[in-house]
Chain A
């Protein structure tokens, strides 16, 4: 079993749709969690951190469920510019950062 698993996608949605991605992790000692966005042929870039109480940044909402060991990302009112691959990342304290394989999102007009 992989340490971090994501919905494989791809997700194809119309503009304005709401879309949600999930990610599960296997190491219960994981301490911090993030969502990254990667555009084609570019480096991954931090989208947002994920906090235990849940957090929101504009149209993006991230949530963490430690008991079930999963994190989620919700995108509301999706835009064409949201088309990208979304990667979840899990850090074991002071240790390695492990990435999921990513979920590809395509937003269509």
Chain B
């Protein structure tokens, strides 16, 4: 079975540019999570969706970050404009029910210069 699929794997961009990260959750999973990981701050929850509806976006750092889930099989995380401090690995994860474990994608390694 296909796992969570993220794209791109690597993204290098200049400060001020728009960045869009993509995620396809596991089919049948109804919750989707976006995390950011850095050495300094560890794994931080940015936002999560249940049944395509955003439930908690309190982890989104600021208005430059936005996330959408237009359907059950696709989500995007957008940063506009990007800044060097946004450099991190961004993970998408999905799960079935609320007591189920998360399954992670391979992550997108973002570098903003």
Contacts and interface: CB of A to CB of B under 8 A. Distances in A.
A11 interface: no
- The bracket for how many chain B residues form the interface is 20 to 34
B25 interface: no
Q: Interface of chain B, helix or strand or loop or mixed?
A: strand
B101 interface: yes
Given A96-B56, A97-B45, A31 B98 contact: yes
Interface stretch (B63-71, B76-84, B102-110): B102-110
B56 A49 contact: no
Interface residues of A, number: 22
Given A94-B50, A99-B43, A46 B101 contact: yes
Nearest to A101: B42
A101 B37 CA distance: 10
Interface in B72-104: 91, 93, 95, 97-104
